[in-house]
Structure 1
Amino acid sequence: GSQFLKVTKVTELINQIDDISLRFRTVHPTGLLFSITGHMRNRMKLYLDEGVLFLSVDLSSDSKILSVGHKLNNNIWHTVFIKFRMRTIEMTVDQERSVTEQMHESIKQWSIASMEVGHVTQTYKNSKGQHSGFIGSMQDFIVNEKEFFQMAKADVGNNIEISADFISDDYYVEKPVAFTSADSYLILSRLQVHDRFSVTLKLKTTESSGLILYNGGTGQDFFAVELFHGFLFYVYDMG
């Protein structure tokens, strides 16, 4: 919740904000996705609160809050799109019905000072509420067709600072099961295997051999995954 991507001297990269998109995945109901700060105390924040996505926009003469989605902390990838057209703000998530608001002034007149993703590194004066840092995964933070995660990964420019880690899209283990002895086992419903199927699992052990998974079918049909002398084997008989 304390890792971040921070962009300063934003005006060297973009003059105004037209479109923002971001993909995220988390099991935590609350967290800051990004904060964009301008001069004259202008500020924009995108954050999760109880699984709902909120966008707050504070200008010198007006402020609005938009909200979309529910239960977005379900460990599934979600994509949010935000559009600014003169005084109109439009936000949508996962192709659902969009929400819009009208501002008293155009957001295009902003002079942007900095953008921070995942966590705010400093406390701003007159800030209306603080939000905990984001815990989860993000992809494709794009502002006006500029992909800032890729720019940070490629180390483009000296105005992008990042403390978050670039990792592969591994599956998140939410509720792991521990087998404490060779006699421990778990029985589930039989898999209904058709022409194509996939099974994904993660494991960690100090044993060199053991049965990982067995699924019995009709008659003598079966497939199994086993560990033997440190090597994984997939064994099957489909008749």
Structure 2
Amino acid sequence: MVPLDWNGEGRIGLRIEVYGCSYWADVISFDGHVVLPYRFRNKKMKTLKDVIALKFKTTESEGVILHGEGQQGDYITLELKKAKLVFSLNLGSNQLGPIYGHTSVTMGSLLDDHHWHSVVIERQGRSINLTLDRSMQHFRTNGEFDYLDLDYEITFGGIPFSGKPSSSSRKNFKGCMESINYNGNNITDLARRKKLEPSNVGNLSFSCVEPYTVPVFFNATSYLEVPGRLDQDLFSVSFQFRTWNPSGLLLFSHFADNLGNVEIDLTESKVAVHINITQTKMSQIDISSGSGLNDGQWHEVRFLAKESFAILTIDGDEASAVRTNSPLHVKTGEKYFFGGFLNQMSNSSHSVLQPSFQGCMQLIQVDDQLVNLYEVAQRRPGSFANVSIDMCAIIDR
């Protein structure tokens, strides 16, 4: 529970009484390398009906949750793609005829929010019910076959490397799963009792390790101010953001000695940097990079500026990084404003200041130092207004 507002004339009070039953959950943590196989007794599994259920939580937007395939071309895959759940199934195709059995359904969004999500797959022949949390989608598979023919095993957490393109191009799942059940078999319990043998690579643990990453949520009236090292000749910031909005102010900071300022904006779904200079004839340096960055996914921004040089990198793509060698003298200031700015800081020479950023940020670094948002929350050091720390509350579209 995160209070979003306080009573300025009084105090806030809350009493909670919780009633329920004891609950034992089998939890498995996947590190992005280990794969957990459930091997069939008869080497082949031919089913007309399947019921698969599990819960997962992760901060990764890509990863294979489960996978099984047969030599006749049948397969079943549940995976995350761009933080959406994608279920793919093929009950058989006829390569010599018109029968094409591949079926793919996508559900949900922003599923990399490190909250538990429940998935249930119920299949009776070609009839499928796919349930994600409280939303169910009913559909029928393509093709004319009713049985799912799998060979040897079904795996959880990834696809074992087999030399096929499908096994090398997809990322393994990194995060936690709970209460994995495959056709009445409690996979997590079997793994805990060492009845299953995970792949030799990676680490499988029976607890859910909380990530260190702490997000911060901004609304239209928010800002986050963090201190920097004064009078440095290198300006260096990096952060990750996610938003649905095409525009917003990501960062604002004054140079020392009235040398100018730096603005990093999201403008028409691109990241634009405006270096406003007061000591030279060139009044402004503008560079921009990226496209479609308001897709609700996490995107990384890295910006570095020093004497007569600046570089902007989006999502770690060094090949498409934008550089400039324009005349520039850098002397860092002592305050960095993320997501918005104080009124007294809005005297930029840039003609139109962007509206405040609405979305989330995480992994904020200033001068190559990771900002401790918990310390900022206690206003030591830094300050903020109308932000929510340790949560990302953008709405699933």
| 1:92 equivalent in structure 2 | 131
Residues 33-85 of structure 1 show CA distances to partners (whole Å, capped at 9, x for unaligned) of: 11111231211111101111001112431110011111111110001111111
| 2:53 equivalent in structure 1 | 21
Q: Residues 107 and 173 of structure 1: is their aligned pair in 2 closer, same or farther, counting only changes over 3 Å? A: farther
Per mean C-alpha deviation after superposition, the further-off stretch among 60-69 and 106-115 is 106-115
* Contact map agreement 1:68 1:99 (CA 8 A) in 2: no
Cα deviation for residue 133 of structure 1 reads 1.1
Q: Residues 124 and 54 of structure 1: is their aligned pair in 2 closer, same or farther, counting only changes over 3 Å? A: farther
Choose the corresponding residue for 2:106, options 67, 90, 105: 67
| 1:233 equivalent in structure 2 | none
Q: How far apart in 1 are the matches of 2:126 and 2:91?
A: 11
- Tell me, yes or no, if structure 1 residue 150 matches structure 2 residue 181: no
Q: How far apart in 2 are the matches of 1:15 and 1:174?
A: 43
Cα deviation for residue 10 of structure 1 reads 5.1
Choose the corresponding residue for 1:113, options 143, 152, 166: 152
| 1:177 equivalent in structure 2 | 372
Letter of the structure 1 residue corresponding to residue 67 of structure 2: S
| 2:162 equivalent in structure 1 | 123
Question: Which aligned runs of 4 or more in structure 1 are off by greater than 6 angstroms?
Answer: 186-189
Q: How far apart in 1 are the matches of 2:163 and 2:104?
A: 19
* Contact map agreement 1:51 1:71 (CA 8 A) in 2: yes
Q: How far apart in 2 are the matches of 1:33 and 1:184?
A: 41
| 1:214 equivalent in structure 2 | none
Q: How far apart in 2 are the matches of 1:40 and 1:140?
A: 30
CA RMSD of superposed structures (Å): 3.2
Q: Secondary structure at the match of 1:9?
A: strand
* Contact map agreement 2:89 2:141 (CA 8 A) in 1: no
Choose the corresponding residue for 2:38, options 3, 7, 12: 7
| 2:207 equivalent in structure 1 | 168
* Contact map agreement 1:38 1:110 (CA 8 A) in 2: yes
* Contact map agreement 1:4 1:164 (CA 8 A) in 2: no
Gaps of 5+ in 1: 190-199, 201-239
Residues 205-235 of structure 1 show CA distances to partners (whole Å, capped at 9, x for unaligned) of: xxxxxxxxxxxxxxxxxxxxxxxxxxxxxxx
Query: TM-score, with normalisation over the residues of structure 2?
Result: 0.42
* Aligned ranges 1:223-234 → 2 under 5 Å: none
Q: How far apart in 2 are the matches of 1:129 and 1:155?
A: 27
| 2:82 equivalent in structure 1 | 50
| 1:132 equivalent in structure 2 | 171
Flag the structure with larger Rg. Answer: 2
Q: How far apart in 2 are the matches of 1:170 and 1:2?
A: 15
How many matched pairs?
187
Q: How far apart in 1 are the matches of 2:77 and 2:176?
A: 18
| Greater fraction strand | 2
Q: How far apart in 1 are the matches of 2:121 and 2:150?
A: 18
Cα deviation for residue 154 of structure 1 reads 0.4
* Contact map agreement 2:43 2:153 (CA 8 A) in 1: no
Query: TM-score, with normalisation over the residues of structure 1?
Result: 0.66
| 1:209 equivalent in structure 2 | none
Cα deviation for residue 15 of structure 1 reads 5.6
Q: How far apart in 1 are the matches of 2:187 and 2:166?
A: 25
Choose the corresponding residue for 1:77, options 110, 116, 136: 116
* Contact map agreement 1:53 1:69 (CA 8 A) in 2: yes
* Contact map agreement 1:88 1:103 (CA 8 A) in 2: no
Q: Secondary structure at the match of 2:147?
A: helix
Cα deviation for residue 9 of structure 1 reads 2.9
Letter of the structure 2 residue corresponding to residue 44 of structure 1: I
Gaps of 5+ in 2: 1-31, 94-100, 215-370, 391-397
